[in-house]
Amino acid sequence: MFDSIKKILTPKENEATLSYGQKADIVREKSAELYQKAKQYFPGGVNSPVRAFKSVYGTPLFIQKGDGCRIWDADGNEFIDFCASWGPLILGHNNAKVREKVIEVMQNGMSFGAPTALENQLAELILKNNKYIEKIRFTSSGTEAVMSAIRLARGVTKRDKIIKFEGCYHGHLDALLVKAGSGLVTFGETSSAGIPKAVADETIVVALNDKEALLAAFEQFDGQIAAIIIEPVPANNGLILQEKEFLAFVRELCTQHNCLLIFDEVISGFRIGFEGAAGYYNIKPDIITYGKIIGGGLPVGAYGASAAIMAHISPEGAVYQAGTLSGNPVAMAAGIAQVTELLKFGFYKDLNNKTFEFAQSIERYAVAKNYKLKVFTIGSIFWIAFTDKDAISASADILPESMDKFKLMHRELLNRGIYFGPSGYEVAFISAAHTKVDLEKAKRAIFESLDLVFKK
Ligand SMILES: *Cc1c(COP(=O)(O)O)cnc(C)c1O
């Protein structure tokens, strides 16, 4: 029934293929044209793989404009957006406070390669309100933050091996591109080409929520492990929520073995609360990495730790790490404006309640209709999983077949003006800009889409 969609149909042709209840496909002429061009310039037509719509119907939508919770594509289609640029836009698109601060700062120039007061301001906003880190360093992406955190852990412990968890994504650095997140799972790969064996050999991969495997790893490699890195809220391969008890176990294990615990909070930081997952679970890791929200939509990453650990970073210490555009004033301005909003009283309570209610009502609908579906949620993150399991605590619990249903839903949602990231392994985000009315509209579209997905 959906096979005809693989080629782009004209709206007329398309209507002829519709079955009952289906909506006509949105027009993607301009997007398709732009995509053809992009394919001449970029590998796969994109500058980051998951954007390519490989695992959903049609060609990628080229976005022209965003405002509040909405985006518009090159053909003028309007969508309520749940991708939020993959997480950064917790205030929604084109937030006036962020935009105005950026414009104000840009009047004075874009980059100096010398310190500015703006770096102090963003650091102060963060450090004064986060008891888990004492010092911070800004980078230009989450990947860079993680890469630097790994080097720092190795520099501090003078050991080489890193433990990571299957299904956790930490950016595209060599050492951690082993059994990582959605972009890789979606393409049916567990790793990337081009990673030296010697590098991969220093990475030990264990399943999430598997204490035995961790103990075995420490038995085998005791004295060689520099750090355990984990997404405390694993949200790059579905939403694989962990019990606090497991995270506490990991913390304890690191302490026992004198290795460092790195929380990769590039996605959960400033998202599930101002202090991220560390604050949510009240567990103190040794190093925390941030990105996404911290830059208000501009490229900023960061890593932080105690003053003692951060003293190992150059020029204070022997661990080198640098960046031509690190702490860039325009990016700092966006971060300052966004983080300031997050600190306002009740910000997270409102946002998180709104998300919880939204997730609950989708799940209630599924239960009433007897659909095999769960909505996992934490903070303002949610993930629609086509499963009947009550909990998904490791990536092996996610059945690849369940992605077929996501693919059908994704198309129906686009046709109803709802934009989700183009992979069933990706989580969705609610922003402060989503109003009750927007969410009601989105719910109706989701219900209709699910009716079609489960219609047999
Ligand atoms: C997005 C993400 C990264 C990578 O950040 P980039 O800015 O894309 O380099 C690393 N870790 C986690 C947990 C992420 O969600």
Q: For the chain, 456 residues long, give each residue's pLDDT as a single digit of tens.
A: 333 334 455 555 556 666 667 788 999 999 999 999 999 999 999 999 999 999 999 999 999 999 999 999 999 999 999 999 999 999 999 999 999 999 999 999 999 999 999 999 999 999 999 999 999 999 999 999 999 999 999 999 999 999 999 999 999 998 888 776 666 555 444 468 888 888 888 999 999 999 999 999 999 998 999 999 999 999 999 999 999 999 999 999 999 999 999 999 999 999 999 999 999 999 999 999 999 999 999 999 999 999 999 999 999 999 999 999 999 999 999 999 999 999 999 999 999 999 999 999 999 999 999 999 999 999 999 999 999 999 999 999 999 999 999 999 999 999 999 999 999 999 999 999 999 999 999 999 999 999 999 996
Nearest residue to 405 via CA among 87, 57, 41? 57
CA dist list (Å): 368 to 52, 258, 377, 384: 35, 51, 19, 16
Determine the residue of 50, 90, 170, 287 to mutate for testing ligand 1's pocket, defined as the one with the most ligand atoms within 8 A of the Cβ atom: 170
In which residue are the tokens 């992406």 written?
141
CA angle 289, 293, 299 (to 5 degrees): 80
| Residue 160 to residue 102: CA distance in whole angstroms | 41
pLDDT at 11: 54
Largest CA distance in the chain: 68
- Whether the Cβ atoms of residue 93 and residue 83 lie closer than 8 Å to each other: no
Q: What is the DSSP string of 366-403?
A: HHHHT-S-EEEEETTEEEEE----S---SGGGS-TTHH
Nearest residue to 332 via CA among 134, 101, 66? 101
167: left (phi over 0), alpha (psi -120 to 50) or beta: left
Nearest residue to 155 via CA among 303, 352, 29, 312? 312
Secondary element (H or E) of residue 301: strand 301-305
| Residue 331 to residue 118: CA distance in whole angstroms | 9
What are 254's two structure tokens? 């690191």
Residue 230 CB less than 6 A away from ligand 1: no
**What size, in residues, is the chain?**
456
Cite the DSSP H helix spans in 112-231: 117-127, 142-157, 182-186, 197-200, 211-221
In eight-state DSSP terms, residue 140 is: S
- Three-state SS at 9: coil
Q: Exposed, middle or buried, 40 (CB in 10 Å: 0-12/13-18/19+)?
A: exposed
Determine the residue of 138, 147, 290, 292 to mutate for testing ligand 1's pocket, defined as the one with the most ligand atoms within 8 A of the Cβ atom: 292
Sign of CA dihedral 276, 278, 279, 280: positive
Q: Identify any residues that bridge with 374 across adjacent strands, giving them in sequence order.
A: 385
Nearest residue to 204 via CA among 168, 252, 246? 168
Amino acid at 26: I
Residues 6+ apart with CB under 8 A from 314: 320, 321, 322
Residue 291 CB less than 6 A away from ligand 1: yes
Nearest residue to 334 via CA among 85, 46, 64, 132? 85
pLDDT at 3: 37
- Whether the Cβ atoms of residue 215 and residue 204 lie closer than 8 Å to each other: no
How many angstroms is it from 236 CA to the middle of ligand 1? 9
92: left (phi over 0), alpha (psi -120 to 50) or beta: left
Residue 142 CB less than 6 A away from ligand 1: yes
Determine the residue of 146, 164, 266 to mutate for testing ligand 1's pocket, defined as the one with the most ligand atoms within 8 A of the Cβ atom: 266
In eight-state DSSP terms, residue 38 is: H
Residue 130 CB less than 6 A away from ligand 1: no
How many angstroms is it from 303 CA to the middle of ligand 1? 12
Which residues does the annotation mark as catalytic?
169, 264, 292
- Set out the domains of the chain in order of their start, with CATH numbers: 11-81+346-453 (3.90.1150.10), 96-342 (3.40.640.10)
pTM to 2 decimal places:
0.94
How many angstroms is it from 148 CA to the middle of ligand 1? 13
Taking each helix axis from N to C end, the angle separating 329-342 and 96-106, rounded to the nearest 10 degrees, works out to 150
Residue 146 CB less than 6 A away from ligand 1: yes
Q: What is the number of the ligand 1 atom nearest to the C-alpha of 291?
A: 7
How many angstroms is it from 104 CA to the middle of ligand 1? 28
